[in-house]
């Protein structure tokens, strides 16, 4: 490959690398956005857990009250049955025993009624907490949706930018040798989006290892593409390319 051709080809590769470097960075950002979105979602779900706990507690209070009301109905039925049996008793002993039984049932009924009243108070208390927490969650959801929209818009913007860069990148490909392009893209894939790097102060711009003077002289000859012996990236000198 003639010297002028090597220089021109390197300039094209450097131009291609600028597109690919930005595409690589944008794609990395695209990979991070869903993670950020999932973190936002998890934070919001965690904030909703208090409301869920309160709603479960309210339901539990209602279930408990329903059970108590069932017990109360059963006690009242037992009292009615016991009272209806009084007229059928023949001895004072049986009568007094039944009266004692009825009084015990009524005492138990009274205790159940007290628990039911307490459950209504408890339900009212929890209901107020639920309504208050619903307002908090509504505000938190609005904040979540707002942040989610920002991330969604950012993702769309990045995807749009990547699409434009790829379209511009495609325009450079026909002018490059297929074998060289394959070599470039292989390095690009293996070296985190960086295949062509400058040598500055005798240091590789990719792996930052020292480049021997002999290798730098080889680059200056412009006879062929020279790669870093450590990271295999294609090397160039900015001053040699007029960059």
List C-alpha distances in Å: 160 to 21, 110, 157, 198: 16, 72, 5, 29
Q: What's the confidence (pLDDT) of residue 134?
A: 95
How many CB atoms are closer than 10 A to CB 91?
8
Q: What's the confidence (pLDDT) of residue 243?
A: 72
Q: What's the confidence (pLDDT) of residue 4?
A: 64
Provide the residue-wise pLDDT of the chain in tens; the chain has 243 residues: 545 699 999 999 999 999 999 999 999 999 999 999 999 999 999 989 999 999 999 999 999 999 999 999 999 999 999 999 998 998 999 999 999 999 999 999 999 999 999 999 999 999 999 999 999 999 999 999 999 999 999 999 999 999 999 999 999 999 999 999 999 999 999 999 999 999 999 999 999 999 999 999 999 999 999 999 999 999 999 998 887
Whole-angstrom distance, CA of residue 124 vs CA of residue 131: 11
How many CB atoms are closer than 10 A to CB 126?
19
User: What is the rounded (10 degree) CA torsion for 11, 17, 18, 22?
Assistant: 180
List C-alpha distances in Å: 173 to 105, 153, 180: 94, 31, 11
Residues with Cβ < 8 Å from 155, sequence gap 6 or more?
A: 30, 33
Q: Are strands 234-236 and 203-204 parallel, antiparallel or unpaired?
A: unpaired
Distance from CA of residue 127 to its chain's centroid? 31
Q: What's the confidence (pLDDT) of residue 242?
A: 81
**Residue ranges of domains in the chain, CATH in brackets:** 27-169 (1.10.287.1490), 179-241 (no CATH)
């Amino acid at each position: 490959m003639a010297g002028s051709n090597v220089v021109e080809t390197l300039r094209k590769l450097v131009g291609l690398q600028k597109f690919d470097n930005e595409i690589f960075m944008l794609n990395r950002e695209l990979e991070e956005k869903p993670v950020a979105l999932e973190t936002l979602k998890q934070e919001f779900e965690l904030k909703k857990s208090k409301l869920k706990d309160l709603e479960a507690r309210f339901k539990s209070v209602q279930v408990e009250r329903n059970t108590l009301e069932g017990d109360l109905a059963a006690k009242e039925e037992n009292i009615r049955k016991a009272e209806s049996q009084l007229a059928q008793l023949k001895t004072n002993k049986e009568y007094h025993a039944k009266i004692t039984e009825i009084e015990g049932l009524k005492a138990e009924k009274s205790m159940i009624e007290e628990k039911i009243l307490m459950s209504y108070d408890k339900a009212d208390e929890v209901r107020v907490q639920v309504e208050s927490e619903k307002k908090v969650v509504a505000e938190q959801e609005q904040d979540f949706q707002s942040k989610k929209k920002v991330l969604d818009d950012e993702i769309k913007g990045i995807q749009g930018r990547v699409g434009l860069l790829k379209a511009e990148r495609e325009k450079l490909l026909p002018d490059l040798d297929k074998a060289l392009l394959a070599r470039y893209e292989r390095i690009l894939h293996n070296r985190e989006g960086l295949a062509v790097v400058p040598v500055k102060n005798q240091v590789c711009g990719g792996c930052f290892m020292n480049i021997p003077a002999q290798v730098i002289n080889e680059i200056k000859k412009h006879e062929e593409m020279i790669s870093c012996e450590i990271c295999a990236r294609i090397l160039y000198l900015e001053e040699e390319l007029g960059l």
